[in-house]
Each structure stands twice: as C-alpha cells, then as structure tokens.
Amino acid sequence: MFIDRVVIKVEGGTGGSGCTSFRREWRTPMGGPDGGDGGRGGSVIVRGDSNLATLLDYTYRDKWLAERGEHGMGANKSGRSGADIIMPVPPGTILRDLDTGEIVAEILEDGQEAVIAPGGRGGKGNAFFATATHQSPREWQPGEEGVVRTIEMELKLIADVGLVGQPNAGKSTLLSVISAARPKIADYPFTTLQPNLGVVQLSDQRTFVVADIPGIIEGAHEGKGLGLQFLRHIERTRILAFL
C-alpha cells in the first residue's frame, strides 16, 4: 500500500539527573564530593533509506520515544546516555512540525540523517559545584526533558522521469514495457490510484528511475479527479514526459 502522508509524535529522551555523593574511605572518612553527572537522553533521528518507497510503516506506530539517560552515581561516575531511535524514511520525505508549520528536516538522499527531536542534557552532580570556598556542595541538577514534537511526514517521490497525462493514456503500459515494474493495467479511467516506480536499465552501470503518476485531468490543482493528492509527486522529477 502506498502511503505518502502520516502524522506521528516524537519525543527525545529525558536526561539523567546528577548525583549528590561524598567520597568515604577508611582513611578519608570526610572525603570531598564525588557525585557524577547524568547521561544525555537519546534523540529521535530520521535516516534516508532508498529501499523504501512509502510511509506505510508509520501508520502502525504513531509515537516514537527515545531512551532516557541514566542518573549519575558516586565515585564520579556519569550515567550512560540514552540510545537514539533511528527512523528510516524514503528519500523525498519532508518532516514538518504540525504545531508551528516549520520544516524540521528534508531527506533527499540515501543515508542522509537529521535529528528531529534532540534528547535532554544530563544534570550535573555535586562534584561540579565544588569550589575553594564551597567544598561540600549538596547541589545537583535534574536532567532536562527532551524535545517533544508532533510531526507531519510528507513523501514527494524523487524520479528522473515522470510520466504525466490524462487517465487511460497508456502511462502504466509504457512503464511495464521499459522496466520490470508491473503496475495494474486496465481499459478504464483511474486504474492507477498510486504512483509506481520503475528502474530502466540502459547499460550495466547506467540506470534511471521512471515514475508513473496517476491520471491528471484539467482542474486537478482545484481538487478535481485525484486532485492535489498526487501533484506533489511531479515536483522533483528532472523530466516530465506527457502521454
């Protein structure tokens, strides 16, 4: 199933709190402060994956929470940082903050990464607050909360050639002949209800990607036919071929 728009909630992990601790040993019963810092919370990261062509996986899970950092410990031991969450998305995905309308990231290439919900910073332990005049501090800091966002993910396919035309013009038939793609073909309008991608092999090392866009009729920009739903997918094609 082709899905090109989903809404999810992402949350960076909370940082671990700092520790209040004092060194206590047999020969140093009144040692100095040794409370360690808390670990940083994990971040939510998106990564481009050219093996994907849809946002379908994100319809099954709409909340992504990174791991929180561990608290600091005595003996100047810092807490472990929380693990990041890596979210694979197809190239061409735009991630927009639904509350502000701000574009948080735009993934255009395979392997490209972007942090969309940073984790919170870990708090300082009491060893951090020790000075020459304040040698036994009991202060410590709580960890900061991670960034929370409601994200709209929108996919705009990236292809070298986009096949554009009215319904039943033969776009899917052409794609099935020049590539290994097998789109649905029939003799009635709007047989193609979702974009199809095919890879055309020119030689052993040269290929290009063709996108079969569902039929577009006059007034599509006003919502007629399949309307604006698929017009976004021709924005990033290098060449438009009209059939």
Could you tell me if 95 and 61 lie in one domain? yes
| CATH number of the domain to which 229 belongs | 3.40.50.300
Give the largest Cα separation in the chain, rounded: 91
Could you tell me if 45 and 139 lie in one domain? yes
**Count of domains for the chain:** 2
Could you tell me if 149 and 213 lie in one domain? no
| CATH number of the domain to which 139 belongs | 2.70.210.12
Which of 155, 179, 208 is the endpoint of a domain?
155
Cα–Cα distance for residue pair 117/150, rounded to 1 Å: 10
Buried b (16+ CB within 10 A) or exposed e, 121-142: bbbbbbbbbbeeeeeebeebbb
Which of 122, 155, 188 is the endpoint of a domain?
155
Could you tell me if 53 and 146 lie in one domain? yes
Closest Cα partner for 197 from 240, 152, 163?
163
Tokens of 144: 């900061």
Could you tell me if 125 and 213 lie in one domain? no
Strand partners of residue 95: 105, 153
Cα–Cα distance for residue pair 184/72, rounded to 1 Å: 59
Its domain, for residue 4, covers: 1-155
> How high is the pLDDT of residue 120?
97
Could you tell me if 39 and 137 lie in one domain? yes
Could you tell me if 25 and 62 lie in one domain? yes
Could you tell me if 58 and 144 lie in one domain? yes
DSSP per-residue string spanning the chain: ----EEEEEEEPPPPPPP---B---SS-TT--B-PPPPPPPP-EEEEE-TT----GGGGS--EEEPPPPPPPBTTTBPPPPPPPEEEEE-TTEEEEETTT--EEEEE-STT-EEEEEPPPPPPPPGGGG--SS--S-----PPPPPPEEEEEEEE----SEEEE-STTSSHHHHHHHHSS------SSTT---S-EEEEEE-SSS-EEEEEEPPP--TTGGGT-TTTHHHHGGGTT-SEEEE-
Tokens of 17: 């709190």
Please list the pLDDT of the chain residue by residue as tens digits (243 residues): 667 889 999 999 999 999 999 988 777 767 789 999 999 999 999 999 988 878 888 999 999 999 999 999 999 999 999 999 999 998 889 999 999 999 999 999 999 999 999 999 999 999 999 998 998 899 999 999 999 999 999 988 767 787 877 777 777 777 777 776 665 554 444 444 566 767 777 766 676 777 777 766 555 555 555 555 566 666 777 788 888
Could you tell me if 54 and 113 lie in one domain? yes
Could you tell me if 187 and 81 lie in one domain? no
Which of 120, 155, 190 is the endpoint of a domain?
155
Distance from the first to the final alpha carbon of the chain: 25
Could you tell me if 126 and 37 lie in one domain? yes
Could you tell me if 151 and 168 lie in one domain? no
> How high is the pLDDT of residue 25?
77
> How high is the pLDDT of residue 237?
78
